[in-house]
Amino acid sequence: MHTETIYADSTGDLRAVGEKAADVLRSGQPVALPAETVYGLAADALNPEAVARVFEAKGRPAHDPLIVHIANRDQLRQVADVPEEIEDVLKQLRQEFWPGALTIVLPKTDAVPDSVTSGLPTVAVRMPADPVFRAVLKAFGGPLAAPSANRFGRISPTSAAAVEEELGGRIPLIIDGGASKEGVESTIIKIEHVPNATKPNFHILRPGPVTIEMLKPIGRCKLPGKNRSAEQIKVEAPGQLDAHYAPRTPLRLIEDPADFTPEEGKRYALLTLDGGKKSKMMDAADWEVIEILSPGAGKLPEAAVRFYHLLRKLDGMDVDEIIAEAVPTHGLGIALMDRMRRAAVGSGSAEG
Ligand code: TXA
Ligand code: MG
């Protein structure tokens, strides 16, 4: 299949780009497009054949459900049945974080095909903020299912070039809207109503740009793993237990520099937050290459924007192992550490 790439200037008139994408989507084909988080591979969320093409293009197993992207409240009602007891909280979350990088798991309506939710009674929904994504939603006029636009298990794409590397020849259209603004996938939460409590519980199924610090005023945040069995996590957060975001080159996450001793003759790459004097890793080996996540003053948000790009870059270099240095575990650092851990688990295999 020939893959066409078109450019979208997000500060300009996006109607023509939206219409072109909508034509492809109406024909039941998927379209890769920018989101503020990472690039997505969108398809008509209410058309099972279109959804099947997304799974096929990604090589994604059917048990890993998709996020449904909406443009407005009517579309929210179309895909989700919101229980009365969480209506107020949902309203607060919408007002605070939509459009934006927060995905909320809600009971699904019959309109959503089982293939989108992998047979679950719930659907993950978010309203994206990226102007190109919004223009496509507007032109298409219906909800769009969109996973990240990478082959299953691989590094998420934060540029059109990365999508081309992942899915070129497998999809008809890529919309190039420049680099993703956030750089890591949306935060996914499930709301648990707690009778007689002042606040509900938010189960964080995937940490992301909407941080615990940001969610805390509205609900009590619970990270997975705490008091939850692997089986519970598998049911509530499918696709979140396995290795993900993985480079082909083996990757090791180092939380304590004392744990790392370089082996003679091995070529290592270092991925570090700021490469400053505070980093004990800078002198820990004769690095083949060093990539700094936050060379400016942007710290964790800057690191998130650059993370997948640098991981992909290091994976394309001729080194034996990528050493990722742990980042602080607050704010966006929680999402970064989550991605680094999963990248380490899945790394080093030729197949994924
Ligand atoms: O930022 C993002 O969320 C990007 C952009 C394109 O919007 N999308 C994205 O999709 O990261 P994906 O498919 O790579 O990750 C979606 C994850 C699934 O792996 C699964 O864990 C979770 O969302 N998910 C989807 N539906 C769910 C449900 N009903 N219950 C629990 N988790 C669900
Ligand atoms: Mg993904």
Least confident of 59-63, 64-68, 101-105, 213-217: 59-63
Q: Would the annotation count 206 as a binding residue?
A: yes
Q: Would the annotation count 203 as a binding residue?
A: no
Decide if pLDDT at 132 tops 80. Answer: yes
Q: Ligand 1 pocket, 147 CB below 6 A?
A: yes
Q: Ligand 1 pocket, 120 CB below 6 A?
A: yes
Q: Would the annotation count 10 as a binding residue?
A: no
Tell me the CA distances in angstroms from 121 to 81, 203, 239, 276, 324, one per residue in order. Answer: 10, 17, 16, 48, 38
Q: Ligand 1 pocket, 66 CB below 6 A?
A: yes
Q: Ligand 1 pocket, 159 CB below 6 A?
A: no
H or E stretch covering 107: strand 102-107
The answer to whether 164 touches 228, Cβ cutoff 8 Å, is no
The answer to whether 303 touches 332, Cβ cutoff 8 Å, is yes
What is the sign, positive or negative, of the torsion defined by CA atoms of 274, 275, 277, 278? positive
Cα separation, 62 vs 60, in Å, equals 6
Mean pLDDT of the chain: 93
Cα separation, 102 vs 207, in Å, equals 10
Record the tokens describing residue 235, joined without a space. 């049911």
Q: Which ligand is nearest to the CA of 236?
A: 1
How far is C-alpha 242 from the chain's CA centre?
Answer: 14
The closest alpha carbon to 144, from 53, 78, 70, belongs to 70
Cα separation, 209 vs 185, in Å, equals 7
Give residue 244's pLDDT.
79
Of 323 and 229, the structure prediction assigns the larger pLDDT to 323
Record the tokens describing residue 263, joined without a space. 């082996």
Q: Quick one: pLDDT band at residue 240, thresholds 50, 70, 90?
A: low
Q: Which ligand is nearest to the CA of 103?
A: 1
The answer to whether 54 touches 147, Cβ cutoff 8 Å, is yes
Cα separation, 180 vs 281, in Å, equals 29
Record the tokens describing residue 280, joined without a space. 């004990």
Cα separation, 314 vs 38, in Å, equals 18
Give residue 271's pLDDT.
97
Give nearest CA residue, ligand 1 atom 6: 40
Cα separation, 246 vs 346, in Å, equals 5
In order of start, what are the domains of the chain with their CATH numbers? Answer: 4-176 (3.90.870.10), 251-346 (3.40.50.11030)
Q: What is the pTM of this model?
A: 0.95
Q: Ligand 1 pocket, 327 CB below 6 A?
A: no
CA of 321 to the centre of ligand 2 (A): 23
Of 124 and 13, the structure prediction assigns the larger pLDDT to 124
50-62: average pLDDT? 96
SS3 call for 239: coil
Tell me the CA distances in angstroms from 260 to 69, 285, 327, one per residue in order. Answer: 42, 9, 16
Q: Ligand 1 pocket, 186 CB below 6 A?
A: yes
Give residue 352's pLDDT.
41
Give nearest CA residue, ligand 1 atom 12: 147
Cα separation, 229 vs 189, in Å, equals 18
Percent of the chain with pLDDT over 70: 94
- The residue type of 149 is A
